[in-house]
C-alpha cells in the first residue's frame, strides 16, 4: 500500500491510514446533523475527521460555516471526481454553507511533465462546467482558477513564509529535483483552505476529501492560528472504489479510459462497463451463487449503491441480504447499480445541457470573486 | 570574501568574481555608444557583461531594447540604491529603452524574518516615490509590485516548472529550512527579467546590476530560449563603495543608519558624514600628505566623484593628479565630493517634492501596467 496526496497504489488499509495520519474515527451518532443525512456520511464512506464535531456545533449555534473542495484539472472528470461536489452541495443546501471551489491548474501544470498551459486551461474550463452542473447557488459559491485569479498569490506568500522546504518535503514527497513551482504549490493549496476565512473573517471551514489529501489539512491546521484563522476542519473519506477493485481508487492511471465511468457516458455505456469490469463478490456460477451466496462487502456494484446511489435504507438492506443469501444474482445487482448510476448521470448531463445553452462567460462570471472580495484578498494579512 | 545575491562580506576581489561567475570583462572601446557615455559605464564602474555588445548592436539596428532594474523594499533608500535607476534613465533617454522596474516586496517579506506585510508595503510605496523622482517617461516605463500586481504569478508558474530546487539551492544558498516562498521567489525574479519580452515580444533586455546579482541573470539566460525568449543581457557593476571602505558595499547592515548617505540627507548632513566617515587615501598629517601624496584609487570620496559625480574628464584628472601629488588635501577633496553629492541629491529631492504635490495615486497609476498589458501577461505562455 502506498498512499500520498499524489499517488495511491495497491490495496488500501483504511484503519491503518487512520492511525498513521492521526485523524479521529468518525461517529455521527450523537451529532445533530440535518436530515436526510448525506448518504456517504451516514453509510461510512466518510470514516474519519478533524473537528467535524465542532463544525456541526458551530452550524447548530447559527454561526457561519464553509466548505472547500477543489479540482486539479488534469483531464475530463469521471464519476469519482464529481461526487465530492455533490457532497459540498448537500452542505450548502442543508447548512447554508458558503462553498469555495479552487481549480489548481498550476498544480497539475507543475506536476505533470507533459501538460502545457493551454492543456490545463482547457481542462479547467471543461471541469468548471461539470462542477457548475451540480447546481450550486451563485450567491454562496465561488470558483477560482489559480493561474487566472492570481490574487491568491499574495496570501500564498504570507503562508509560504511559515512552512519550510523540509516540512513540505516530508508531507508531499518532494525531492531536491522537484521544480520550485511544485515546492511552492502547497502554500497555494493552504490558501485555498483559508479563502472563506480571508473573505468573511475567521470561522469554521470544512474540507471533505479522500484521506490521501489529509496532509494538506494538517499543514493548514498547523499554520492557521499564527495568521489569525480558525483551524481547518476535515471530513475524510475512503476512495471511490475503482470498477475493478473494491479497495482501489477510481483512476485513469492504470486502467485507461475504458475502465472508468465518465460524466459523459450514456446509459448503455455505463451498463456495458459495469457488466464487463465491475468487480463482483458473487460466485463463479449461478448454481454456486444460489448455494453459497455472494459477498456484498467486496462487490463494487453493491458498494456504489451502498455509499452513493441507493438512498432507501430498507432497499439497500434487501439487496445486501438477497445478495448474501444467493437469491440476488450478480447480473441482477449489476443491472440495478447501472440503472441507478445512469439515472444520476443523466440528471447531471441534463443540467449541463441546460447550462451550455446559456452564455458561458456570464455563468462563470457569476461564480467568480466579486470586486469587493478581490479587494479583501488583496488587503488581507497586513499585520502578519 | 563572501559574495552571494543576498550577502556581501569582506574585501571584494572583482577580478576573481568575474572569473568565478564566468561573465565577460567589459571593454566599451569599439562599441558605438550614444554620447555622452554614462559616467559609470565609461569610468569602469560597470566592468563586466553578458551580451551587452549584442544589446548595443540591436539598438544601433533600430530594434527595440529594454532595461530591467528593480528594488527590494526592505527600508528607505540610500545613495547606493538610487544610482541604478539613473543608469536606467540614461538608457531610456539615449536608446529609447523601455524600462521595467519590479518591486520585490514578496522577496523582502520572505527573506527578512521580522518584516510584516504592512512593512514591505509601506517601504514599497516610499521607494516607488523615490524611483519616480528620477524622472522616467511614463509612456516607456512600468513599475510592478509583486504582491499587488499578482498577474506575475502566472508566468512565474511557467518558469518555475523549468528550475529545480537543487539548481536554486546551488545558485542562491537556499537550505532545507528555507521557507517555500523563498524557494519559489527566484522564478518571480526571472519573470521580472522577461516582462519586457512578455509584453512586447522577444527582444534584447539588459539588466544593469551589481555583480552579486549575476546568478539571477545566469538562470534567466538558461531558461529563456526554452520559452521562446531572447537570452537576458547583463551589465555588471562593482559595488557602490561604502563610506568606510573602498571595496565594501554601501549598506545599513554593519554601520547602521549613520554611515550611509540617505536620499533625504541635506547638504550639511552629507558634508558631515563624508568628513567623518569617508575612508581616505590621504596621509595622516598635512605635512606627510604634502610630502608623499594621497592614493585616489582607495579614497572613497575620490571614487564617488570618479564613478558617479564628476562628469568633466579634465577636472577628474586634475583632482586625481593633485591628490596623488599631495597638492590637493583630503579635506579639500572631501569638501568637493560632498558638494557634488549634495548637488545631485538636492536635484533629486526637488523632483520628489514636485512629485509629492501631485495626486500620488494618479502618478503611480500612470506607471502601472495598462489593461492590455495585463491581458498580455495573462495570456502569455499557453504553448509552454
Q: pLDDT digit string (tens) for B67-94?
A: 999 999 999 999 999 999 999 999 999 9
Hey, which residues does A344 pair with through a beta bridge?
Answer: none
pLDDT at B8 over 80: no
For the segment A144-173, the average pLDDT, to the nearest whole number, is: 94
Rg (CA), chain A: 21
| Residue corresponding to grid cell 516548472 | B161
Region label for B228, one of left (φ > 0), alpha (ψ between -120 and 50) or beta (otherwise): left
- The percentage of chain A sitting over the pLDDT mark of 90, rounded to a whole number, equals 84
| Minimum mean pLDDT range among A76-85, A350-359, B237-246 | B237-246
CB contact under 8 A, B162 and A156: no
Quick one: which of A272, A213, A212, A276 has its CA closest to A244?
Answer: A276
Q: How far apart are CA B269 and CA B275, in angstroms?
A: 10
Q: Which of A245-254, A335-344, B132-141, B324-333 has the lowest mean pLDDT?
A: A245-254
Query: pLDDT tens-digit profile of B262-321?
Result: 999 999 999 999 999 999 999 999 999 999 999 999 999 999 999 999 999 999 999 999
Query: Do B157 and A110 lie within an 8 Å CB cutoff?
Result: yes
Give the span between the Cα atoms of B219 and B299, in whole angstroms. 35
Distance CA A5, CA A8 (A): 8
Q: Which residues of A touch B121 (CB under 8 A)?
A: 382
In chain B, the domains with their CATH numbers are: 2-243 (3.40.50.620), 257-356 (1.10.240.10)
Closest-approach residue (CA) in chain A for B154: A147
Q: Where are the alpha helices (DSSP H) in chain B?
A: 14-21, 39-42, 52-60, 79-95, 105-111, 117-132, 153-160, 165-172, 180-200, 214-224, 267-277, 286-292, 300-304, 313-325, 330-356, 360-366, 371-379
Model confidence pLDDT, tens digit, residues B356-376: 999 988 999 999 999 999 999
| Mutation to test the B interface, candidates A181, A368, A382, A383, most B Cβ within 10 Å | A181
Collapsing DSSP to helix, strand or coil, B206 comes out as strand
Best mutation target among B181, B228, B375 (most A Cβ atoms within 10 Å) is: B181
Mutate to test the interface with A, among B72, B73, B110, B179 (most CBs of A within 10 A): B179
Please return the burial class of B298, using the count of CB atoms within 10 Å of its CB with bins 0-12, 13-18 and 19+: middle
B164 and A179 within 8 Å at the Cβ level: the answer is yes
pLDDT in tens, A248-288: 666 655 556 778 999 999 999 999 999 999 999 999 999 99
pTM above 0.90, yes or no: yes
- How far is B55 from B211, CA to CA, in rounded Å? 18
The pLDDT of residue B221 is above 90: yes
Cell 522546504 belongs to residue = A165
With an 8 Å Cβ cutoff, are A382 and B176 in contact? no
CB-closest option in A110, A176, A381 to B166:
A176
Considering only CB atoms, which residues of chain A are within 8 Å of chain B? Answer: 106, 109-110, 116-118, 121, 146-148, 150-154, 156-158, 160-166, 168-169, 174-184, 186-187, 378, 381-384
List Cα–Cα distances, B149 to A152, B45, B195, B334, B370, in angstroms: 11, 33, 12, 43, 11
Q: Which residues pair with B65 in a beta bridge?
A: B204
pLDDT of residue A86: 97
Residue % of chain B over a pLDDT of 90? 84
Give the mean pLDDT of B319-336.
Answer: 97
CA distance B191 to chain A (A): 13
CB B52 within 8 A of CB B25: no
Residue A191 pLDDT > 70: yes
What is the residue-wise DSSP string for B266-318? -HHHHHHHHHHHS---S-SSHHHHHHH---GGG-HHHHHIIIII---HHHHHH
pLDDT category at A245 given cuts 50, 70, 90 is confident
Dihedral Cα A19, A23, A28, A29, nearest 10 deg: 60
Task: Check residue B170 and give its pLDDT.
Answer: 83
Which candidate from B106, B150, B165 shows the least CB-CB separation from A183? B165
What pLDDT, on a 0 to 100 scale, did the predictor assign at position B4?
73
ipTM: 0.93
Amino acid at each position: 500500500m502506498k498512499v500520498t496526496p499524489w499517488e495511491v497504489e495497491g490495496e488500501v488499509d483504511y484503519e491503518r491510514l487512520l492511525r498513521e495520519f492521526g485523524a479521529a474515527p468518525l461517529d455521527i451518532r450523537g451529532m445533530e446533523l440535518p436530515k436526510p443525512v448525506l448518504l456517504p456520511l451516514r453509510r461510512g464512506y466518510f470514516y474519519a475527521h478533524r473537528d467535524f464535531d465542532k463544525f456541526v456545533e458551530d452550524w447548530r449555534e447559527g454561526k457561519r460555516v464553509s466548505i472547500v473542495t477543489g479540482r486539479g484539472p488534469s483531464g475530463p472528470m469521471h464519476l469519482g471526481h464529481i461526487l465530492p461536489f455533490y457532497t459540498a452541495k448537500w452542505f450548502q443546501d442543508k447548512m447554508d454553507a458558503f462553498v469555495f471551489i479552487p481549480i489548481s491548474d498550476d498544480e497539475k501544470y507543475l506536476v505533470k511533465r507533459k501538460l502545457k498551459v493551454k492543456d490545463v486551461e482547457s481542462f479547467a474550463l471543461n471541469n468548471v462546467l461539470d462542477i457548475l452542473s451540480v447546481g450550486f447557488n451563485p450567491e454562496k459559491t465561488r470558483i477560482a482558477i489559480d493561474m487566472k485569479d492570481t490574487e491568491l498569490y499574495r496570501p500564498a506568500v504570507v503562508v509560504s513564509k511559515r512552512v519550510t522546504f523540509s516540512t513540505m518535503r516530508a508531507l508531499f514527497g518532494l525531492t531536491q529535483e522537484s521544480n520550485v513551482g511544485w515546492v511552492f504549490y502547497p502554500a497555494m493549496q493552504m490558501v485555498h483552505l483559508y479563502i472563506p476565512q480571508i473573505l468573511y473573517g475567521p470561522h469554521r471551514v470544512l474540507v471533505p476529501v479522500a484521506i490521501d489529501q489529509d496532509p494538506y489539512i494538517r499543514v493548514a491546521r498547523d499554520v492557521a492560528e499564527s495568521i489569525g484563522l480558525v483551524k481547518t476542519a476535515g471530513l475524510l473519506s475512503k476512495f471511490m472504489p475503482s470498477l475493478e477493485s473494491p479497495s482501489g481508487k477510481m483512476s485513469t492511471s492504470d486502467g485507461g479510459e475504458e475502465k472508468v465511468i465518465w460524466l459523459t457516458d450514456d446509459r448503455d455505456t455505463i451498463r456495458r462497463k459495469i457488466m464487463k469490469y465491475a468487480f463482483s463478490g458473487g460466485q463463479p456460477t449461478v448454481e454456486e451463487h444460489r448455494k453459497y451466496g455472494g459477498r456484498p462487502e467486496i462487490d463494487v456494484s453493491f458498494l456504489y449503491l451502498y455509499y452513493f446511489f441507493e438512498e432507501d435504507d430498507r432497499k439497500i438492506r434487501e439487496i445486501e441480504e438477497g445478495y448474501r443469501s444467493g437469491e440476488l444474482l450478480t447480473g441482477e445487482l449489476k443491472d440495478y447499480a447501472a440503472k441507478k448510476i445512469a439515472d444520476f448521470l443523466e440528471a447531471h448531463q441534463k443540467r449541463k445541457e441546460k447550462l451550455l445553452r446559456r452564455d458561458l462567460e456570464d455563468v462563470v462570471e457569476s461564480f467568480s470573486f466579486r470586486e469587493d472580495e478581490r479587494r479583501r484578498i488583496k488587503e488581507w494579512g497586513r499585520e502578519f
